[in-house]
Structure 1
Amino acid sequence: MPAARPPGGVTVRRLTARDARALTTLPPAMSWIHRTWGGPEALARSGCAWAAFQGDRIVAVACTYFLGTTYEDVACVTVPDPRLQYLALDCVDALCADMAARGHTPSWTCSTSNRPGRLLAWTAGFRPEREYAHYAVGAPAATGRAAAG
């Protein structure tokens, strides 16, 4: 059960353009969170992200990962620290309220093997609609100048 409010020293709020630097300090494994927006600056100024801050440090962030005409798909990351439990949920709850205010339906897509993601989605009120299989073949496509040969 989530805490009634974040622990002392933690603030949950919408990201603004001034928060781009804080996004760049997330661990490299978490940088995927801003990739679909074109980087930390674009996500920070999008109005589509909420974060939990411990001082100036982002410890959890939830954002719109894919934006459609009806649905907005939720993405979320949190730094691994048991003392910061439920902060991702606080961010997701705030983000989903924003999505609803924009007239969009929040959606959540994650792998069946992503137990933490599925539990967070369930706790936030999402329910499974269907499961799918994702297929890929070969190595990832090369990009950039090196790919041109």
Structure 2
Amino acid sequence: MPAARPPGGVTVRRLNARDARALTTLPPAMSWIHRTWGGPEALARSGHAWAAFQGDRIVAVACTYFLGTTYEDVACVTVPDPRLQYLALDCVDALCADMAARGHTPSWTCSTSNRPGRLLAWTAGFRPEREYAHYAVGAPAATGRAAAG
């Protein structure tokens, strides 16, 4: 069960423009979190992201990944150390409250093989609506890697 408050030394709050640098210090494998916003500066300024800070270091962040007219899809990353401290859940809860205040419905999309993501979604109150197969072809535009053959 999540704690009523984050542990000592941790603050959960909405990101602002001054937090862009903290986003750039996330491990490289987590940089996808700000990609659809056009980078860390744009996400930090967006008003659509909440993070858990341990000092000046971001240890969890949840943001709107895709913004529609009715739905906002949630994305979340957590650095491995504090995963059991429920900090991602605190960020997701705050983000979903913002979405509801904007009159939008939070949604959650993740792979069926993403057990941690599915468990976090469930704990945050999301329930499966449908499962689907996702197909793609070609090289990813951002990396230029060749498609698997």
For normalisation by structure 1, the TM-score amounts to: 0.92
Contact 2:139/2:147, CA 8 A, preserved across alignment:
no
Q: 1:142 to 1:123 in 2, by over 3 A?
A: closer
C-alpha distance after superposition, 1:68-94 (max 9, x if no partner) = 000000000000014652000000000
Q: 1:147 to 1:116 in 2, by over 3 A?
A: closer
Q: 1:97 to 1:145 in 2, by over 3 A?
A: closer
Q: Give the share of equivalent positions with the same residue, in percent.
A: 99
How far did residue 143 of structure 1 move? Answer: 7.2
How far did residue 138 of structure 1 move? Answer: 4.6
Between 1:78-87 and 1:14-23, the stretch displaced more is 78-87
Structure 2: runs of 5 or more not aligned: none
Structure 1: runs of 5 or more not aligned: none
Contact 2:7/2:85, CA 8 A, preserved across alignment:
no
> How far apart, CA to CA, are the structure 2 residues paired with 1:46 and 1:27?
21
C-alpha distance after superposition, 1:5-39 (max 9, x if no partner) = 00000000000000000000000000000000000
The runs of 4+ residues in structure 1 deviating greater than 4 Å are: 141-149
For normalisation by structure 2, the TM-score amounts to: 0.92
The two structures, once aligned, show a CA RMSD in angstroms of 3.2
Q: 1:102 to 1:137 in 2, by over 3 A?
A: same
Contact 2:139/2:145, CA 8 A, preserved across alignment:
no
Find the residue that maps to 2:65 and give its secondary structure. Answer: strand
Q: 1:23 to 1:143 in 2, by over 3 A?
A: closer
1:21 equivalent to 2:24? Answer no
Partner of 1:147: 147
